[in-house]
Amino acid sequence: MKVRAILCAVSGLALIAAAPAPSPVPPAPQAADQPLYRDAGAPVADRVDDLIRRMTLEEKVAQLEVVWTGKTNIFDTNDQFDAAKMSKVYPGGIGGVARPADAHGPISPRELPWRDTAQTIRLVNAMQRWAMTRTRLGIPILFHEEGLHGYAALGATSFPIPIGLASSWDADLVRRTNVITAREIRARGVTQVLSPVVDIARDPRWGRIEETFGEDPYLVGELGVAAVEGLQGPGRARVLKPGHVFATLKHLTGHGQPESGTNIGPAPLSERELRENFFPPFEEVIRRTGVAAVMPSYNEIDGVPSHASKWLLTDVLRGEWGFKGAVTSDYSAIDQLKDIHHVAGDLEQAARLALAAGVDMDLPDGLSYQTLVKQVREGKVSEARIDEAVRYVLDMKFRSGLFENPYADVAAAQAITNNAEARALALESAQKSIVLLKNDGLLPLKPTGTIAVIGPNAAKAHLGGYYGIPPHAVSLLDGIKAKVGNSARIVYAEGVKITENDDWWADEVTLADPAQNRQRIAAAVEAAKGADTIVLNIGGNEQTSREAWADNHLGDRDDITMVGEQQELFDALKALGKPIVVVLTNGRPLAVNEVAEQANALVEGWYGGEQGGNAMADVLFGTVNPGGKLPVTIARSVGQLPLFYNHKPSAQRGYLFDTTEPLFPFGYGLSYTSFEIGAPRLSARTIGIAGSVTVSVDVTNTGKVAGDEVVQLYIRDKESSVTQPVKELKGFRRVTLAPGEKQTLTFTLTPNAFALWNIDMQRVVEPGAFDIMVGPDSRTLKTVTLDIS
């Protein structure tokens, strides 16, 4: 009884009536002809109401359920859809189907190949035909897929991972990559994608950091808006147009700074911290777009798991931010209220907690929500709350146009998937995501002499987690060979292996044998002895940084240095005394302290997508001038964590015997040319608390080659009623300048840029002095002071 009382207090169980409540929708009148919900010209709200009136309780609850691992129950022995089995297992229909492009659930495509475009469409069309013609009301299915950096499917286009795309500091680029992603997904008959991630990431031990846009709320928010606009289309319209898919904003929230850096760990965050840093990207996207769905996070905040938090999902998300879409659970997160968080004694109670908090759909298999019919019958759950959740699901289905045309066309899908436009954008996005971290003049390389390409990542294109399988992916070795042709001699050696297997889906992770690696190192040294230059490609792979989705499938680390014998490989090659450029291929930012100090050049490439090898070759040989900037602070050791640029004034006083300085600061990145960024100029030196100010800044290419610079604008509240960060990003612009070219950029700072959450947790602008700072990164800044009175 005590436990039950506590759960009611913190998770909103009071929303679920103790006895059955009548449906808020009166019985539907008898239709003389076509039901209203079939009328495409009728208002969506009216169509939803009409359909709910006609639905049985079983049909309603079915709309809150999804199937993924349960596909084996509705497929035949050849993994083909079986309508008879489907009718038996889901007689009332089904709300959604997860990942139709896979074989039948969470199995590696290396073990069981995924469906190609034609096979996926055949499955989608067959299931929709069943739903439209063999269920009583003909309610179509909402299919969803993954699409963090391209459609995660066979044959689709693969872009750089999100942390790589964020390194471009180019919102338009993020928007355009998501346009291609949406187009390829929608072409297969799928109308929802579980993307983008707008968690801010503050711990590189966390294996999912690669899925994020970095550590800063403003940068993450701007790129999140761009991603949703690319997926759903511009503006706040919620009607889905052809070629677009509904976006799912995730994971609300605190996911990116888990305790000990381990996935789903508690987020030790106060309400102020949430409102100042973790909420803003979500709120920004919701206020500026028509984003259709939000996914809560796995973690708990202050003892309450996100999937059981009425405060988070109802009071804040719907009440404060005005969100009108569906809340879809993360995979098995409702079940985990019982299995991991232990705030529910069984799946029935887990379902009640989640439903009361505001979760509308139970992904990926509806195990908890399958109990809702029984619970309504027993008076434990109100049918009115079921209706409310169903309304959000049906609203998406009507707005997507599924009732009018749920089918896809194979020829049309094949024509646009990974076409020339998509491949060109994959190359551009990879080029713009590359960050030059160090260069003593070695770069750009000349395509002459003998170049040794060494390293565990050199001969394979690593794509990162939640990946698709493009028709062709270019490794660094292939990219360099294609770039230099016959102008230079290329020699290759693996150097070391990182892990015995690099399959992201595989549970077991085994480091490569050290003794065998030292034999590989000796062979690499021998191969490099005759080289004029060494290109060393090290970092990580899809097993050393990934989502830890189970106790037997881990992906987080207690260290942020390179695993295995990679440092030994660098040391051995460096001992040859030859010029060496190190290319990093990785998902998490790594503490490569000695490499950064001793290499002639250091380039961060992340996982660059299908064109990553060509893009890196373009940068190494000067066809492309790198212009990327870090979206995260790179720490020197785990002892510095958490380390982020927008810390409070009392943080980072110092350490005995070491430094608080990062290896590389937030916003940092070099170029093959030089730039001069002038001091900021204000349209007014004093404004009122409701006023805005325009900041002008000149940027000039003072070098000899064209290049991109990212001008960054930060502010600091010099005196405040509650502590504020030492600086906060409030604007950025990536510009391309020819040698000698000068541009004047303008930024407008509105009251929102200066507002804080005061002691009473109210969002206000306080009078006082603010430093307005501009520069090429978070450390190299020029300042002017603005007074707000």
Please report the DSSP string for 654-666 in residue order. -BTTB----SB-T
Name 375's Cβ contacts closer than 8 Å, sequence gap at least 6.
Answer: 348, 351, 352, 381
330 is catalytic: yes
Tokens found for residue 531: 């080289």
Burial of 578 (0-12, 13-18, 19+ CB in 10 A): middle
In whole angstroms, give the CA distance from residue 177 to residue 661.
34
User: 585, 502, 544, 692: which is closest to 108 by C-alpha?
Assistant: 502
In whole angstroms, give the CA distance from residue 452 to residue 531.
6
* Helices within 529-608 (DSSP H only): 566-574, 593-598
Residue 757: phi and psi, rounded to 5, are -90, 110
In whole angstroms, give the CA distance from residue 736 to residue 667.
17
In whole angstroms, give the CA distance from residue 656 to residue 186.
56
The active-site residue out of 170, 203, 330, 365 is 330
In whole angstroms, give the CA distance from residue 202 to residue 210.
12
User: 400, 423, 451, 444: which is closest to 156 by C-alpha?
Assistant: 423
Burial of 88 (0-12, 13-18, 19+ CB in 10 A): exposed
Name 82's Cβ contacts closer than 8 Å, sequence gap at least 6.
Answer: 74, 75, 76
Radius of gyration of the chain (CA): 27
How far the first Cα of the chain sits from its last, in Å, is: 55
* Helices within 576-686 (DSSP H only): 593-598, 612-620
Q: What is the largest CA-CA distance in the chain?
A: 88
Residue 406: phi and psi, rounded to 5, are -90, 5
In the block, tokens 């040319």 appear at 673
Tokens found for residue 371: 């109990």
Answer whether 521's CB lies under 8 Å from 515's CB: no
Catalytic residues: 330
